[in-house]
C-alpha cells in the first residue's frame, strides 16, 4: 500500500473513531460484508467448480467461506458487546460489487475478483490495527481476522493466475471509482486517458 494511501486511510479511520454513530454503522456494514463474502464464495464454488479438475478450487472456496462465516460471528459478538442492535444497513459494497461481479465469468476471474477485494480489505485492516487510537476490542478482533484474510488474498491470487487478475483489474478499478476510492480518468493533453486508470484518494470498505 502506498504511503499516501496509508495516510488517507488513517485520516478516514480517525474521523470514523471520533463519531460513534458512524463507527457503529461501519461495524454493522463490516458484519454484512463478512456475511456477503461467505455467500459469495459458496456461490463461486457452486458455479465454477463442477467436475473433478476443479475439486481443489471447490475446497478452497469452501474453506474461505467458512472463515468468512466465522468472521461474521466475531463481528456480531463485537456488535453485541457494544450494544448495537442494528443488523442491516445499506453499505458501499453494492456499488463496488455491481461493477465487479459482471466480470466474473469463470473460475479464474472469480478468484481474481476475490483476490483483489480481499487485498483491499486487508490493507485497510492493517492500517486499523496499526492505529494507536483503535479501541482494544476492535484491534483484537482484526488481529485475529488479519492472518485469515492474508491467506485468502494469497491463495485466491494463486488460483486466479495472471490471466484471472488481468481480466478483472479494470472492473476492480471501476468499483473503486464507484466507491469514491479512486478518481476517474482525467483528460490528458485534451484527450481522455484510456481505461479506468485512476488515482487513489482514500479507502473505506469494499468487501
- Residue numbers of the site for Fe ion (CB under 5 A)? 34, 68, 71, 118, 149, 152
Closest CA to 184 of 206, 203, 201, 167: 201
Smallest distance, Fe ion to C-beta of residue 71, A: 4
Instruction: List Cα–Cα distances, 189 to 29, 138, 165, 186, 193, in angstroms.
Output: 41, 47, 30, 10, 9
Smallest distance, Fe ion to C-beta of residue 18, A: 26
Q: Which is nearer to Fe ion, 49 or 116 (CB)?
A: 116
Q: Which is nearer to Fe ion, 151 or 185 (CB)?
A: 151
Q: Which is nearer to Fe ion, 108 or 121 (CB)?
A: 121
Say if residues 48 and 110 touch (Cβ distance below 8 Å). Answer: yes
Q: Which is nearer to Fe ion, 10 or 154 (CB)?
A: 154
Smallest distance, Fe ion to C-beta of residue 153, A: 8
Residue 44 CA to residue 125 CA, distance in Å, equals 24
Grid cell of 4 as nine digits: 499516501
Smallest distance, Fe ion to C-beta of residue 64, A: 6
Smallest distance, Fe ion to C-beta of residue 122, A: 8
Give ∠ CA 134-203-84 in degrees, rounded to 5: 50
Q: Which is nearer to Fe ion, 123 or 149 (CB)?
A: 149
Say if residues 117 and 170 touch (Cβ distance below 8 Å). Answer: no
Smallest distance, Fe ion to C-beta of residue 38, A: 8
Say if residues 32 and 20 touch (Cβ distance below 8 Å). Answer: no
Q: Which is nearer to Fe ion, 141 or 196 (CB)?
A: 141
Grid cell of 201 as nine digits: 484518494
Secondary structure class of 158 (helix, strand, coil): helix
Amino acid at each position: 500500500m502506498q504511503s499516501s494511501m496509508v495516510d488517507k486511510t488513517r485520516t478516514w479511520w480517525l474521523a470514523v473513531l471520533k463519531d460513534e454513530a458512524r463507527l457503529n454503522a461501519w461495524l454493522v456494514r463490516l458484519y454484512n460484508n463478512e456475511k456477503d463474502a461467505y455467500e459469495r464464495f459458496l456461490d463461486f464454488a457452486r458455479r465454477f467448480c463442477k467436475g473433478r479438475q476443479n475439486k481443489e478450487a471447490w475446497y478452497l472456496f469452501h474453506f474461505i467461506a467458512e472463515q468468512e462465516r466465522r468472521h461474521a460471528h466475531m463481528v456480531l459478538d463485537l456488535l453485541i458487546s457494544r450494544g448495537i442492535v442494528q443488523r442491516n444497513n445499506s453499505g458501499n459494497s453494492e456499488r463496488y460489487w455491481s461493477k465487479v461481479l459482471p466480470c466474473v465469468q469463470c473460475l479464474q476471474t472469480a478468484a481474481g475478483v476475490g483476490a483483489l477485494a480481499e487485498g483491499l480489505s486487508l490493507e485497510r485492516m492493517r492500517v486499523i490495527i496499526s492505529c494507536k487510537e483503535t479501541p482494544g476490542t476492535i484491534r483484537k478482533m482484526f488481529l485475529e481476522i488479519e492472518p485469515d484474510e492474508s491467506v485468502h488474498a494469497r491463495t485466491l491470487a494463486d488460483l486466479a493466475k495472471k490471466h484471472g487478475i488481468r481480466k478483472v483489474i479494470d472492473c476492480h478499478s471501476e468499483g473503486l471509482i464507484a466507491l469514491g476510492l479512486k478518481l476517474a480518468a482525467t483528460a490528458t493533453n485534451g484527450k481522455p486517458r484510456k481505461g479506468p486508470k485512476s488515482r487513489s484518494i482514500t479507502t473505506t470498505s469494499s468487501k
